[in-house]
Amino acid sequence: MSRLVVASIGPASSVQDGGRHGAQRYGLTVSGAMDRLSLAAANTLVGNEPFAAAIEIGPFGASFTARDGAVRVAISGAPRNADIAGSAVAMDTSMTLKDGETLTLGFARDGAFTYLAIEGAIKGEAVFGSLAVNARAGLGSPYPRPLQAGDEFTVDAASGAPELRIELPKPAAGPIRVLLGPQDDEFDDANKALFLDSEWKISATSDRMGYRLEGPAIKHLHGHNIVSDGTVNGSIQVPGNGAPIALMMDRGTSGGYPKIATVITADIGRLAQTSAGTAFRFKAVSMAEAQDEARKFAQAIRSLPDRLRSSDIVALNIEALSDANVAGYAVSAVDSGTWQVTAEP
């Protein structure tokens, strides 16, 4: 066995998997990865099940060091600069950290979450069938809280398998697609149009429980209180102040604010990866279209093993390169003696 040690890490980083299912009727929230496709891609690169537990890294940087042997990992999700011992590595690839080597990840670009999967998956004691962390509830394993520098994972020693890259499906573009409702009748046509026709931004105060949306105030027809009923990932509630909140993976399982719309399954990861302050819009679609996109999304995850390719990464031996003298004879532009040829008498 080897160890992977968290050398440094920012906030909003934790262990996540596919979530805990089957107990929402008891008030147990699902949790799990904010971007399921990226989690599945990282796991596929190192031979794990798609929704095995991995490290969900928030917008800030992080670094991880292999100890007691080599550790094979993979990264996918929001792009960021990454290197091992100063040598750049690509996103959506697997890589092996030698004993003592450190993988360093910079700030996220064009997204919020990156997934670090470990060959053999993270090990821990399942809590209600999942390792997924819900920090508010103190649930998850092996650390039921955000990760901190000094945390470490006991992991399988690197297998020595060839390194791989993965060609992910082209992401959807355009507005985030929603189904109106289930309480869209609590809003008049003008306010439903305002919701769909306006630009929105995600507030910096958002978290895994909910994304607060900044934009125009949405007014209710009959007040903002309803009899509490069930929520799902992507439910968009409108509280009394008129500022919508998109419920995310650590949401409560019920709520008492009217829900004007629901983000479709295929676009929840896109919404989760929208950086705070980035403008976007919503678009209403039919139930049939939402179901069709859900089937396509499920098929995209099933197809990930077929998208694996050789990474074509060749290790660079600096010492051998230096000894090879590939540059030939060296000259100095300011020393003519190194390049000016004197004719023989």
Higher pLDDT, 304 or 85: 304
In the predicted structure, residue 78 carries a pLDDT above the cut 70: yes
Residue 339: the pLDDT is 52
Q: What is the CATH number of domain 176-302?
A: 2.40.100.10
Confidence of residue 113 (pLDDT cuts 50, 70, 90): very high
Higher pLDDT, 173 or 234: 234
Residue 30: the pLDDT is 96
**Strands 2-9, 176-180: pairing kind:** unpaired
Supply 28's token pair: 């147990």
What rounded mean pLDDT belongs to the chain?
Answer: 92
User: According to CATH, where is 2.40.100.10 located in the chain?
Assistant: 176-302
Residue 171: the pLDDT is 81
Q: What is the b/e burial string over 270-305, where b = at least 16 CB atoms within 10 angstroms of the residue's CB?
A: bbbbbeeeeeeebebbeeeebeebeeebeebbeebe
Residue 169: the pLDDT is 87
Helix (H, G, I), strand (E, B) or coil at 298: helix
Whole-model pTM? 0.89
Residue 316: the pLDDT is 46
Confidence of residue 170 (pLDDT cuts 50, 70, 90): confident
Supply 336's token pair: 């003519």
Per residue in 248-266, pLDDT (tens digit) is 999 999 999 999 999 999 9
Locus of tokens 């929230």:
29
CA 142, CA 153: separation in Å to the nearest integer?
Answer: 8
Per residue in 125-149, pLDDT (tens digit) is 999 999 999 999 999 999 999 999 9
What is the number of H-type helices and E-type strands within the chain? 5, 22
Residue 122: the pLDDT is 98
Per residue in 288-336, pLDDT (tens digit) is 999 999 999 999 999 999 999 998 654 444 444 455 555 555 555 555 5
Residue 278: the pLDDT is 95
